[in-house]
Structure 1
Amino acid sequence: MKFLIFLGTVRDSTPPKPARLGAHVAKACMECLQSRYEEDEIELVDALDYPLEPVFKPHFAYPKSKVPPALNELAKKIESSDGFIMISPEYNHFMSPALANLLNHFGSSLFSYKPSVIVTYSAGQWGGVRAAVGMRTFLSELGCLPVSAMIHVPKAQEVFAADGSAQSGVDQASWFDYFGRAFNQLVWWAQAACEHRAQVDPHQLINGFKRDPSQRNAP
């Protein structure tokens, strides 16, 4: 299995401190996955590495010869992946604008028929749970249906250090067991979907919307 971890924050200045709290959570997720699923390939996709144009233009709208190389490369990674871990802080009770912007650059056909896990965090007590509610709808529309278990990390700066290790006095094993509930679901669904895709191509069975919005219209 191949999984992409999307880190949906581009904040890289202070205040607040630490500036990139999501990076702590992302590294902890990577460490958990790599320690428990050694045969799987895990790769981090950091929204900060994709300084996108201020005028929105999706990957599939470019002429083939003019697609930005970074978007083209990420599209290939998404298409070849078996599942996704979506990490987001909470902005006005919704997911990170940086994560939504990055994901919106790609058509749902790249994400479809693959599972995802929602991971949210905050510096406060709620752990981004309100953002997670909206993320379910967003990810379902992309076709990468979220598994039922979610991961929320309140007061993340007190839980994980910058390298993803547990802060002093924090029981990392207990946190990784909590992560594991969602990651086990992700791996199970990803394996099942991968095996079935090998037998039945869903994109042949159900045509994607690739030409214009009118394809969604009822007769």
Structure 2
Amino acid sequence: MKFLMFLGTVRDSTPPRPARLGLRVAKACLEFFAGRYGEHEVELVDALDYPLEPVFKPHFAYAKNRAPAALNDLAEKIESADGFIMISPEYNHSMSPALANLLNHFGSSLFSYKPSAILTYSAGQWGGMRAAVGMRTFLSELGCLPVSAMIHVPKAQEIFLDDGSMQTGEDQNTWFDYFNRTLTQLMWWAQAAQNHRAEVDPHGVLMDFKTSPAERNAP
């Protein structure tokens, strides 16, 4: 199976320190995948790599073949993925606006009928759990329902080094066992959804919401 790991932070300056704390968390998660789920493919999608237009225009609003190449490429990756890992810091008790902005460029039909996992982190003691609560609603509306278990990493700068490896005194196996509960749920649901999509095309059963809110309005 193929998974996309979205890193939802574009803060690349100091203070606060360290910059791009989420990149450490993402690298650790990638290492976890390589060690325990090496038969599957996972690709990091970094919001910092997508400098989007200042005036918001979603991918589906462009005329055919007129969308920016970066949006087209990412749309294809989203459509071909079997599941998603959403990594976000917590800003003012909410998910990263950079992550929300990037995901909002794509219609829910690309994400739908595939599971997601929520991974939040912080430099403080709560690990981004308040952002994670809101992410459940957001991801459910996208159609990529989050699995029940979540990952929260408090004081991430004290756990991971720049390359995603563990700080001295931290036990990798303990952390990876913690990651495993959430990501095993993700694998189970992704496999189940993949199997059923092969039998029944969900996009042929229900109309996709692509161009107008009227497509999902009550009569």
Question: Could you state the TM-score of these two structures normalised by the residue count of structure 2?
Answer: 0.99
> 1:186 and 1:209 mapped to 2: Cα distance?
25
Runs of 5+ consecutive residues of structure 1 not aligned to the other structure:
none
Inter-partner Cα distance in structure 2 for 1:217 and 1:114: 23
Q: Residue in 2 aligned with 1:156? A: 156
Match of 2:36 in 1: 36
How many residues matched? 219
Q: Give the partner amino acid of 2:13.
A: S
What amino acid does structure 2 have at the position aligned with 1:94?
S
1:130 aligns with 2:93: no
Please tell me whether the aligned partners of residues 61 and 211 of structure 2 are also in contact (alpha carbons under 8 angstroms).
no
For the pair 1:198 / 2:203, whether they are aligned, the reply is: no
* Preserved contact between residue 24 and residue 163 of structure 2 (Cα < 8 Å): yes
Q: CA deviation at 1:217?
A: 1.5
Deviations 1:173-200 (A, max 9, x none): 0000000000000000000000000000
- 1:170 corresponds to: 170
Kindly indicate whether the alpha-carbon contact (under 8 Å) linking 2:147 and 2:185 is maintained by their aligned counterparts in 1: yes
Q: Post-superposition shift, 1:210? A: 2.1
Structure 1 CA distance for aligned equivalents of residues 36 and 122 of structure 2 = 25
Runs of 4+ in 1 over 2 A off after TM superposition: none
* TM-score, normalising length: structure 1: 0.99
Secondary structure of residue in 2 paired with 1:85: strand
Counterpart of 2:119 in structure 1 is: 119
Equivalent runs, 1:17-166 vs 2, <5 Å: 17-166=17-166
1:211 is displaced (CA, Å) by: 3.2
Identify unmatched segments of 5+ residues in structure 2: none
State the alpha-carbon separation in 1 of the partners of residues 165 and 73 from structure 2.
Answer: 30
Shift of 1:33: 1.0
Taking only aligned residues, the RMSD between alpha carbons, in angstroms, comes to 0.6
Q: Secondary structure at the match of 2:65?
A: helix
